[in-house]
Amino acid sequence: MSVQDAPLARPAPPARSGAATALGWILTIGLNVVAPIITYNTLVDDHGWSEFSALLLSSAWPVLDSAVSVAWRRKLDEFAIVTLVFLVITAVVSLVGAHSARALLIKDSGVTGLFGLLCLATLLAPRPLMFYFGRKFATDGTARSTAWWNGLWQYEGFRTTLTRMTLVWGVAYVTEALVRIALAYTLNTKTMVTLSPIMIYGVLGALGLWTALYGRRSQAEGERRAAQAGSEAAAATAAA
């Protein structure tokens, strides 16, 4: 993820370890995405478990990921923690019960809406949610790479960029959830069954594209300001 730095250029990232990056992503995807989905589907479809019970048991995988991270890197994996929170939110929402197709659609909107509220809530925390997401994607998880990312927080442009990204993601998902709930009461169920996943993945894709473009623009602006500051400093030195 790229960020804006001014007036001084931020330090370049350290060389990334290919092996550490690959192993980290295998563990992350396996324990936070693949394993929970397989566990949930197996328990619900093959063993008749309730959605709530299956989701709670599925949340054991992100807990395991956090334990592995603590043992391996001596720190918690915030990405796994967010995944765990998301699963718990989904489990809590499932308690409402889906007595109709419309209720099920509203429950799905509740999950994405609560995720949006989680993003907004972290704006009140010392560091916003996108700081941790960015660290997961921009580093290989090694101590040197993590320290580099953490050190960028001293730059105002870096803080502004990640705070703004978190705000946009939060507002977008809260808005998406409210719109889908309104449409669930306006459109017929057949139309919403088709439209709902399109909205979910459409918003996700749009946010991902915006994040990449905004990050690159912020980096370019930061580099421009750093170059300008360097030129002005050189001119002042020459004049003196």
Q: One digit per residue, pLDDT tens: the chain, 240 residues?
A: 544 444 455 666 665 555 666 676 677 778 777 888 898 889 888 888 876 677 678 777 877 776 776 666 666 666 667 766 776 777 676 666 555 666 767 777 887 888 899 999 999 999 999 998 888 777 877 778 888 889 989 988 899 999 999 999 999 999 999 998 899 888 887 788 778 778 887 898 899 899 989 988 887 887 777 677 667 666 767 766
DSSP 168-221: HHHHHHHHHHHHHHHHHHHS-HHHHHHHHHHHHHHHHHHHHHHHHHHHHHHHHH
pTM: 0.69
